[in-house]
């Protein structure tokens, strides 16, 4: 099913007091949010949209004073390779700026004491191990700096809601409102659309109405 009438990067104009992305109706297949706006049906890829919102939030926080951390109630230990443990030590200040507090417990063991507050719902273990993988790839601190946005993207992915998480209508509406207030929320971090509009005229065409 090819193109839709509006490009999803531009929010539709709302003739009334209905918000641009409308109000949530339901969740579909644990992946999409269905909403009704002034123009018709809105389909939102909930993970992609939330990932984008998280990413912009992380970027803004980073640009201000770095990410604030949220201590874990119980520190988590994570098994890594020796090279990864070395990398964690080498980039300890980068981790700090990102809101992490890590400690090397042994040749191949790290303790996670704190993760970024914005990602407090993420799985700490996998989050740290993916950030470590990025850091291993970027190498020196200079290159890490140049790839800071990719790092934040990796982290945003961990913070975003996963497929098959059941959302209540108010949570869905919250996400729609966040999208409206987030720059470039029409595209996910990988450039894919986060939502799409099926206007009444698109729907009418599907049903050969008015022909």
By the rule CB under 8 A, 200 interacts with its own copies: yes
- The radius of gyration of the chain from alpha carbons, rounded to an integer in Å, stands at 20
Dihedral angle at the C-alpha atoms of 185, 123, 33, 188, nearest 10 degrees?
Answer: 30
Identify which range of 85-93, 94-102, 132-140, 190-198 contacts its own copies by CB under 8 A: 190-198
Shortest Å, Cβ 1 to its own copies = 4
Q: Which one of 14, 36, 70, 149 is in contact with its own copies (CB under 8 A)?
A: 36
Q: Which one of 11, 25, 92, 136 is in contact with its own copies (CB under 8 A)?
A: 25
Residue 160 structure tokens: 């975003």
By the rule CB under 8 A, 48 interacts with its own copies: yes
Shortest Å, Cβ 136 to its own copies = 27
Shortest Å, Cβ 181 to its own copies = 21
- CA 4 from centre of chain: 24
Distance CA 134, CA 47 (A): 21
Pairing label, strands 23-28, 109-116:
unpaired
Locate tokens 């980068």: which residue?
Answer: 94
Q: Which one of 11, 34, 72, 148 is in contact with its own copies (CB under 8 A)?
A: 34
SS (H, E, C) 142-193: HHHHHCHHHHHHHHHHHHCCCCCCCCCHHHHHHHHHHHHCCCCCCECCCCCE
Bridge partners (DSSP) of residue 197 are 42
Shortest Å, Cβ 74 to its own copies = 37
Shortest Å, Cβ 67 to its own copies = 29
Report the interface residues with its own copies, using CB under 8 A.
1-5, 25-26, 28-29, 31-32, 34, 36, 40-41, 43, 45, 48, 192-194, 196, 198, 200, 202-203, 205-209, 211
């Amino acid at each position: 099913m090819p193109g839709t009438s509006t490009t999803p990067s531009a929010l539709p104009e709302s003739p009334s007091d209905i918000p641009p992305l409308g109000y949530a109706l339901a969740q579909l297949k644990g992946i999409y949010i269905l909403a009704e706006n002034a123009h018709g049906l809105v389909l939102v890829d909930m993970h992609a949209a939330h990932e984008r919102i998280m990413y912009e939030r992380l970027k803004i926080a980073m640009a201000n004073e770095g990410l604030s951390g949220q201590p874990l109630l119980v520190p988590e230990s994570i098994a890594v390779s020796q090279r990864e443990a070395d990398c964690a030590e080498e980039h300890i200040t980068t981790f700090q700026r990102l809101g992490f507090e890590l400690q090397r417990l042994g040749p191949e063991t790290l303790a996670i004491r704190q993760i970024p507050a914005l990602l407090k719902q993420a799985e700490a273990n996998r989050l740290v191990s993916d950030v470590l993988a990025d850091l291993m790839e970027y190498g020196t601190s200079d290159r890490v700096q140049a790839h800071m946005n990719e790092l934040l993207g990796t982290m945003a992915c961990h913070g975003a809601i996963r497929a098959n998480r059941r959302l209540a209508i108010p949570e869905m509406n919250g996400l729609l409102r966040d999208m409206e207030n987030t720059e470039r929320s029409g595209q996910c971090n990988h450039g894919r659309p986060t939502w799409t509009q099926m206007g009444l005229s698109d729907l009418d065409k599907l049903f050969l109405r008015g022909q």
